[in-house]
Structure 1
Amino acid sequence: MNIYSPKLKGKIVHEYFERKDNISISKLSRQHDIDPRRVGEWIRNYRLRGKLIA
């Protein structure tokens, strides 16, 4: 299991919400070589709580 820093999580979540081309979670996760389920989890947590969960 990989451990991802809060800084990296924040960067990826921020990129997801700020991109103008409505990038998919799948494409974003491929660009960063991270499992899309993990990226989706970070985005869902951010949407629900308004913050990242470490």
Structure 2
Amino acid sequence: MGTVTTQIGAYLVEHGLEAGPMMNIYRVSPAQNPDPETWVTDVVFPLVQSDGMPAT
């Protein structure tokens, strides 16, 4: 997760984008399968406009 968030952060900076609070969506978690190799997590950074409103 650390590598992914670092790469997304670098992309946002490189492209002059601003993001709201990060959230994770757990598609496959330990609740569905105890094997970490099967876990799937969406890392979400909602983009916001300079006025702080969600981007459309």
TM-score, structure 1 length as denominator?
0.33
Computing the radius of gyration over CA atoms, which structure comes out larger, 1 or 2? Answer: 2
TM-score, structure 2 length as denominator?
0.32
Q: Which protein is richer in helix relative to its size?
A: 1
Q: Which protein is richer in strand relative to its size?
A: 2
